[in-house]
Structure 1
Amino acid sequence: MAKIKQIVEKLIRKHSTNNPFEIASQKGIVLLFEPLGKIYGYHHTFRRIQIIHINDELDEPMKRFVCAHELGHAVLHPELSTSFLRKNTLFCMDKVEREANEFAVELLLPDDCLYTYRNTDMTIYEAAKTYGIPKEVVHLKNFDH
């Protein structure tokens, strides 16, 4: 959805970064790193304070993706408390989860990052991997402007 890409581009310009941890912090969203077992992360609002919970047992690239995904919920669906993000949620076709995944892909892999690979033999999947994006969601990258 081009609308999500536009929202992400505006967010990157406003915050001068595509780092989801920095954007969340600048937006006043509380980040909590805690053991969550098989749950990757989730977002909820408590007394008008948005909170993103991230499983502290994940590797750094996956923490970054989870933060971007949950930030997507905070930006696109602030009134919803989201279901837990799990590995199988990456394949989920639920509209809300798909939008959060698309938001994360657009945030972590903006067009200018992709352009650096245009004259190489690297595939989009390889480029996405360098930015910590799971291969299951790379197809959500929007190339339209």
Structure 2
Amino acid sequence: MLSEYLHSTAEKLIRAFGDSPFEIAEGIGIKVILNYEFSKLCGMYTVIKRRRIIILNGNMDSRRQKTVLAHEIGHDILHRHMAQNKVVHDVMVYDMSIKPEYEANMFASELLLRDADVLALLEKDGYSAEQAAAALDADINLMLIKLSSMQKRGFKFDSVPLPADGRFISEL
């Protein structure tokens, strides 16, 4: 099941390299470049001559950079074949109706939001999804994607999360 695979892959990367998407990217051999000339583009992923590259908008705040980088790492793990000698950027990125974008967002939620942290806030502290997202400095849509993934993996929650808005990363 995809949600299990994404969760276990994210956990392995965190154990090996820590929880910083920048450290993970470096650890798995992805070159990350900050570009300060981007205006609306959040980030892009490409593979050129077998060199994996993510270019991020350097004008974004650190939370947004981490979220976009985690999303792009998801593309590297799941969709590298789609980027061979092509640039994949957010003209189509973050549209949840496009399967690769939904999958990359699922991976980002697994990388940035740990099950134990989410469960502690929701179950022990009684937080809503919105409150948990705020406490973890995450976008609510990323939290909703995480909760959906956790439900697919067998976790039970008192209330069923609403569907996430797939455009959230481009609007952070």
Question: Within 2, Cα distance between the matches of 1:36 and 1:110?
Answer: 31
Q: TM-score, normalising length from structure 1?
A: 0.85
Indicate the percent of aligned positions where both proteins have the same amino acid: 29
Structure 2 residue 124 is matched with structure 1 residue 122:
no
Note if contact 2:129-2:144 (Cα within 8 Å) is conserved in structure 1: no
Distance 1:3 1:115, change over 3 A: same
- Which runs of 5 or more residues in structure 1 are unaligned? none
Distance in structure 2 (CA, Å) of the matches to 1:99 and 1:114: 20
Query: Residues 131 and 77 from structure 1, CA distance in 2 versus in 1: closer, same or farther, beyond 3 angstroms?
Result: farther
Bigger Rg, which one? 2
TM-score normalised by length of structure 2:
0.73
In 2, are the aligned partners of 1:52 and 1:67 still within 8 Å (CA)? Answer: yes
After TM superposition, what 4+ stretches of structure 1 lie above 6 angstroms from structure 2?
none
How many angstroms apart in 1 are the aligned matches of 2:114 and 2:102? 17
Please list the CA deviations of residues 30-80 of structure 1 after superposition, one character each: whole Å capped at 9, or x if unmatched.
001113211110100111110011111111110110010001111111222
CA-based RMSD: 2.1
Equivalent in the alignment of 2:99: 95
Q: CA deviation at 1:126?
A: 2.8
Shift of 1:132: 4.3
Matches within 5 A, 1:1-145: 1-15=3-17, 17-34=18-35, 35-81=37-83, 83-85=88-90, 89-117=93-121, 118-141=123-146, 142-143=149-150, 144=153
Distance in 2 (CA, whole Å) between partners of 1:28 and 1:89 is: 22
CA separation of 1:38 and 1:30: change in aligned 2, threshold 3 A: same
Q: For the structure 1 residues 6 and 25, does the alpha-carbon distance in structure 2 shift closer, same or farther, using more than 3 Å as the test? A: same
Contact kept? 1:61, 1:131, Cα under 8 Å = no
Structure 1 residues 66, 131: CA separation in 2 closer, same or farther (over 3 Å shift)? farther
The 1:123–1:89 alpha-carbon spacing in structure 2 relative to 1, beyond 3 Å, is: farther
Unaligned runs of 5+ in 2: 155-172
- Contact persistence 2:70–2:112 (CA under 8 A): yes
